[in-house]
Structure 1
Amino acid sequence: MKLFLLKTWRIIRGSLRWTLYLVTALVACLYLLGAHSPYIRPTLTTIPALLGLTFPILFVLQLTVSLYWFVRGRWRMVGLMAIIFALSWSALSAYLPINRKWEHEPTEAGKQIKVLSYNTSAFGFKRHSPSSPNPILQYIKSTDADIVCLQESMLADKAEYGVTFKQLKAYLGEQYPHIDQRNAQKHGSTLILLSKYPIKEVHRFPIKSHANGAVWYKLQVDDREIMVVNLHLESFRLRKKDGEGYVQLVRERQALRLKEALNAKFAPTFRAHNVQADMIARQIEDYGSERVIVCGDFNDTPISYARRRIAHSLQDAYIERGNGFGFSYTTWFFVVRIDHILCGGAFVPESSYVDDAATMSDHHPIHATLWLPNPKQ
């Protein structure tokens, strides 16, 4: 009997050990696939994009597995876990950048340009009057940014329904003498550029979408021309009940149903992002990426195909100079940084941050200060 119990225990122990190895391998594969999802086109497969969307969860799972092997003193496995984290370093640094405060003393003559990008959600659906200014218009004015890109900034026909273009221009026109306002689509999201610099040209990207899109501008900054892109990529149209449904499926351990629900909701948007990002990236490459600034609501995470594709020849101001997660969207069950500011090699990012104290919209605004050195003679 003792021999039987001993053999049974050995079989159970061996099975548990191999189960742990299989779980470790599965978690590591999913984690690495999520970390490298920006390099896989969603038009080919959307599975990596979905894993990239859940990267923080995968990171926690990978960390838990790694700590287990560390506590057990299995140093070979610990070494393997360290290699896996090293292979995902670019994703980790994009999601959670940690930068020392940079006390920049320009060694060359040039110009400091403050940039603000803000999805205003129709200016918080608040009215505006001289005696009671709209909070978002007040905020924009207080930042004194040189270039302001606004998304989802629908303007009302009448003052009783919200902010009108006439009110916006009267309140901000002295500070921003150059204003462009147009819909991304015929009846879509409104994109607005407020600029202290003259607007030479305006072009709408021919993006196929019901409501979203992008516009690019040529601005004259002293004796130089720069390109500014204001974009609002395809929305996932997430609702509170979507998040509640996903959480419920997790609680019920309905993995297959959760996968089907996520795929049905997210896959079409990921594929749309692929096409939209490719179009925008090609225009940036055709223009020449050195003097380019890209702002907007990407509706996608720091480790997404869309952000990586558009940022291919650019710098991400927040990754270069920001600190922490910098969540710009914190509504219901969805907490993520989906608003980004990118710039070309002619600029030096000095600072960047997401202002989580600004709660007038469902997005927090993102700021960046860029240094534009004078061209070398």
Structure 2
Amino acid sequence: MHKPSPIIRISSRIAKGVLLAGTLLYALLFLFGAYSGYIAPMRWTAPAFLGLFFPLLLAGWILISLFWLLTLDVRRLLLVGAVWLIALPQLLTFFPISRSTKVLGTEGEVLRVLSYNVSAFGFKPHSATQPNPILQYIRSSDADIVCLQEAMLNQNPEAGVVTKTLREYLASDYPYIACIQVGTGGSTLAILSKYPLSEVEQIPVPTHANGAIKAKVKLKGHELLLVNVHLESFHLKADDGANYIALAKQGEALQLKDALRAKLGPTFRYHNAQAVILHELIKAYNSPRVLVCGDFNDTPLSYTRRKIGDGLKDAFVARGNGFGFTFRNRPFIVRIDHILYGKAFRALSCEIDKTADESDHYPISAVLALDEAFYQD
């Protein structure tokens, strides 16, 4: 049997070494993206970018895993398997797999929560003969608490929803309504509740156009802290996405990096500061009766969601399935709307309603059971 020449053997070893080095390097990038939420963007923004583009990293790691699977190289497959195991907790945060899509254990007290970035109610007016579709959706949702973002209320009834019509149309379902304009760009956050609200006020977070509000909700004789957020936007447009894709196709890596850093870097730092303030607020409240809803403008793996959710649970991670995309403007299709809850609650279900297409966001809703901790002071 003819043996390969020394040159071929050396070349083969070099090729395998290069492939292994490339696999190790990519594995590090993949894991940095998966655990990017544990690194504050104020200190280092690179992991935040890796987290934002984690779907691309995941696709690449799947291809690398398939390559080593086809080669049947046991040692490399062990490496690949170890990386998958290390990343697994974050993968289940990014792509939850719930045991059931149905509401589990509805016996006892439950709280139905809806969060919806309504994008100025679709810029559609409301009248008795032609009700605004988003107002109709809210009314039919049967939610006990509704948190709205970008709930811009017009002065002209022909241009969109006005404060008076909103209150009149929803008053029978939601006797407690609070609307607060936040930031400098006129964005409005609203809370609609079947239960009494008190101490409704804006939370002082650094922001350009968005913000956050809080309220105390009187529920079953106990008080809970409700936080409704619309954190700083990346201000991304379809043209931005097309430009980034074009630069990537042209191999202009440096230009792409500079464009992304200039556009996204400041927002990552805004998010860092906002998340720390909200986390400290929740920590100071020192109660398991906490709900945080809204448009975080950041992904499930982000520092923003992890920091705000420190000590809380994510309803979609607990009871959702799949990617759960809530922002639907191509090419930026991501899950940036979240419902977080304290230990007084237990998620029974969480869904993204993709039939509600009047806004550029899909609404996210959750059914939460009131656990024993809810009734303990």
TM-score class normalised by the smaller sequence: over 0.9
- Structure 1 residues 103 and 174: CA distance shift in structure 2, 3 A: closer
Question: What are the within-5 Å matches in structure 2 for residues 1-377 of structure 1?
Answer: 6=5, 8-101=7-100, 104-105=104-105, 109=108, 111-373=109-371, 375=375
Query: 2: distance between equivalents of 1:13 and 1:176?
Result: 71
Q: Which residue identity is paired with 2:320?
A: G
Query: 2: distance between equivalents of 1:157 and 1:11?
Result: 77
Q: How far apart are 1:200 and its partner, in Å?
A: 1.6
- Structure 1 residues 364 and 348: CA distance shift in structure 2, 3 A: same
Q: Which residue identity is paired with 1:104?
A: L
Q: Which residue identity is paired with 2:266?
A: P
Q: Which residue identity is paired with 1:320?
A: A
Q: Which residue identity is paired with 1:288?
A: N
Q: Which residue identity is paired with 2:236?
A: L
Query: 2: distance between equivalents of 1:106 and 1:346?
Result: 16
Q: Secondary structure at the match of 2:158?
A: helix
Q: Given that residues 103 and 349 in structure 2 are in contact (C-alpha distance below 8 angstroms), is that contact kept between their aligned partners in structure 1?
A: no
Q: Which residue identity is paired with 2:28?
A: C
TM-score computed with the length of structure 1 as normaliser = 0.95
Q: Which residue identity is paired with 1:91?
A: Q
Q: Given that residues 185 and 213 in structure 1 are in contact (C-alpha distance below 8 angstroms), is that contact kept between their aligned partners in structure 2?
A: yes
Q: How far apart are 1:118 and its partner, in Å?
A: 0.3
Query: 2: distance between equivalents of 1:7 and 1:126?
Result: 75
Query: 2: distance between equivalents of 1:376 and 1:210?
Result: 39
Q: How far apart are 1:357 and its partner, in Å?
A: 1.3
Query: 1: distance between equivalents of 2:64 and 2:371?
Result: 47
Q: Given that residues 230 and 294 in structure 1 are in contact (C-alpha distance below 8 angstroms), is that contact kept between their aligned partners in structure 2?
A: yes
Q: How many residues align?
A: 373
Q: Given that residues 95 and 323 in structure 2 are in contact (C-alpha distance below 8 angstroms), is that contact kept between their aligned partners in structure 1?
A: yes
Q: Which residue identity is paired with 1:188?
A: G
Q: Percent identity?
A: 47
Q: How far apart are 1:44 and its partner, in Å?
A: 0.3
Query: 2: distance between equivalents of 1:53 and 1:143?
Result: 31
Q: Given that residues 289 and 314 in structure 1 are in contact (C-alpha distance below 8 angstroms), is that contact kept between their aligned partners in structure 2?
A: no
Q: Secondary structure at the match of 2:116?
A: strand
Which residues of structure 2 form unaligned runs of 5+? none
Query: 2: distance between equivalents of 1:241 and 1:51?
Result: 21
- Structure 1 residues 54 and 174: CA distance shift in structure 2, 3 A: same
Q: Given that residues 346 and 369 in structure 2 are in contact (C-alpha distance below 8 angstroms), is that contact kept between their aligned partners in structure 1?
A: yes
Query: 1: distance between equivalents of 2:311 and 2:90?
Result: 17
Q: Which residue identity is paired with 1:21?
A: L
Deviation sequence 1:1-59 (CA, Å, 0-9, x none): xx9x9455445433322221122112101001101101000000110000001111111
TM-score computed with the length of structure 2 as normaliser = 0.95
Structure 1 window deviating more from structure 2 (203-212 vs 336-345): it is: 203-212
Please, what is the CA RMSD of the aligned residues? Answer: 1.8
